[in-house]
A and B are shown apart, each in its own frame.
Chain A
């Protein structure tokens, strides 16, 4: 017997360190952007210099503080009703995180349920779910969400519902395909031989292997949710009333873009940073968590 050389073996680096190395710069940049967003959302009342709905018509459309006519009481200026732009941006981040977190988890829950169902039962159930997804995908998504939100009426619920109803298919398609392929593997067959029920196999064997995929999809979906809120604002059916949202601020800013371009520019920058943050995080997570590359 050849002597297996074990002398050169060194301590294996931790799985976390390996994962973060695979995720690379994308993962860290994305995570940093999302972390900043979350911190702003959580500590909004502490960070905002003013009440975001407080109007002061005497100081309306003030430019940012460093421009001529600006004042440091309103660092990023005021809108046409004299509300503090910085405070509204900060509280809008809170609305954005709320919408994104709720909508993405609901879309994920529904999509995963349908995907597991179709992928594991096969037969007419799979046929039915697959056809349903096909019909769904044939609708133009922008129009579908606009019509839906119009049906439900303005409000947070409406925005969340529009995102969930339009985008559950993104999760269902991927989870179905991945469930099908995981069930072909030897470990699933072994679990069947051991006498585990279908529910147990899905719960203990398949689902844990889908986690990386689902986490990635959720990150990307949260970015999409922020975009859908902007879309719905253009139709006047986003979050109602005084509640500050980035989409609402962009639409208000478009009306007075020549007089006060910063009112529209600042929420656009916020939306872009958020969307790129979630996209990079999703990309980085996919690379970091991909079970194929895992040693």
Chain B
């Protein structure tokens, strides 16, 4: 991708976000559930209900509500959550680091696992064992992240109870953090015991997110490795007497990585979207879990804020992957 294309993509971000915001806004306003009905005490008078309605601006026409809300969003004001009675911006900001750390850990696991499986698969090319690897990868791909979450929870949390299955950290550990990036902070400040306690809680949900993505990485990379190994330079290296593992790691892998990132990078958005249910299943306190609560409570401002957050993350990830490919591939840099 050329730089001009990237600039075009950046310019497309504001209208895309406005479109997402408008669709969600209008969709939510035709919901039959009434957020005010869920917060009033039984026996509230009609006047009280009307006052609450006016307080949250719900008595205005939909389009007018949207204009007011968009204006506020542009100044950084995402409104107040109806169910949690706090500012949406602060609520999302407090929970976002938990989700980002989980998604990051999931991505790291997926890339490592996928690369190892692809290398083994490429090494075993043409043998009977390759069939087993392909079958395993196909199985990993067919089962989505939230089902892996349930399977892992049952196997390693309940039947063989070796890992905790809910929350982000043991509530008995009363540890103070300066930021909400618990894992990154504890690693940077050298508190490895805290990091280990955090990882214990994060490893199952992260693994659930990682497994289907790892399978995707393995499938794409294995095909690229096979193609690269058939090229002349790999054949020459073989003729000069280098071993196959050495050629695969040193010569073939770097060349197979670029097309793999180009083809599979965008799928990271799927891993991020998967956090919604996986966080729910493991009662992990991130924005995905929060989004489900917000939908159940018909908390309009919070849902809008969260969906916009996800949309921004999706767009940013897509752009980051394209930038990465451009930077990795010298042919594209001067396009």
Mark A residues whose CB is within 8 Å of B: 135, 138-143, 146-148, 150-151, 153, 227, 230-231, 234-237, 250, 254, 257-258, 261, 264-265, 268, 271-272, 275-276, 279
Contact = CB atoms under 8 A, between A and B. Distances in A.
A4 B113 CA distance: 58
B20 interface: yes
B290 interface: no
Contact of B295 (A139, A227, A235, A261): A235
Given A147-B28, A275-B147, 14 more contacts: A140-B273, A140-B310, A142-B273, A142-B276, A143-B310, A146-B292, A150-B31, A151-B28, A151-B30, A254-B153, A257-B165, A268-B151, A276-B142, A279-B142
A138 B318 CA distance: 11
B296 A236 contact: yes
B154 A275 contact: no
Contacts of A272: 143, 147, 151
A231 B277 contact: yes
B20 A143 contact: no
B273 A143 contact: yes
Interface in B137-173: 139, 142-144, 146-147, 150-151, 153-154, 157-159, 165
Contacts of B310: 140, 143
A138 B20 contact: yes
Contacts of A150: 31, 33, 295, 298
A150 B32 CA distance: 8
Contacts of B28: 147, 151
A275 B212 CA distance: 14
Interface string B284-295: 000000011001
Contacts of B147: 227, 230, 268, 271-272, 275
Q: Give me the 8 closest cross-chain CB pairs, A-B, nearest first.
A: A140-B273, A279-B142, A261-B158, A150-B295, A151-B31, A268-B150, A142-B273, A142-B276
Given A147-B307, A272-B143, A235 B154 contact: no
Interface in B289-333: 291-292, 295-296, 298, 303, 307, 310-311, 314
Contacts of B33: 150, 153
Given A150-B31, A151-B27, A234 B280 contact: yes
Looking at A146, A261, A279, the one whose CB has the most chain B CB atoms below 10 A away is A146
Chain B's interface: helix, strand, loop or mixed, by majority? helix
A142 B273 CA distance: 7
Contacts of B280: 234
B277 A275 contact: no
Nearest to A262: B154
A261 B157 CA distance: 10
22 contacts: A138-B311, A138-B314, A139-B20, A140-B276, A140-B310, A141-B273, A146-B292, A150-B298, A151-B28, A153-B32, A153-B33, A230-B146, A231-B146, A234-B292, A237-B295, A254-B281, A257-B165, A258-B158, A261-B154, A261-B158, A268-B154, A272-B151
B269 A250 contact: no
Contacts of B292: 146, 234-235
Contacts of B295: 146-147, 150, 235, 237
Contact of B277 (A234, A268, A271): A234
A108 B67 CA distance: 37
Contacts of A275: 142-143, 147
Contacts of B16: 138
Contacts of B298: 150
Contacts of B144: 227
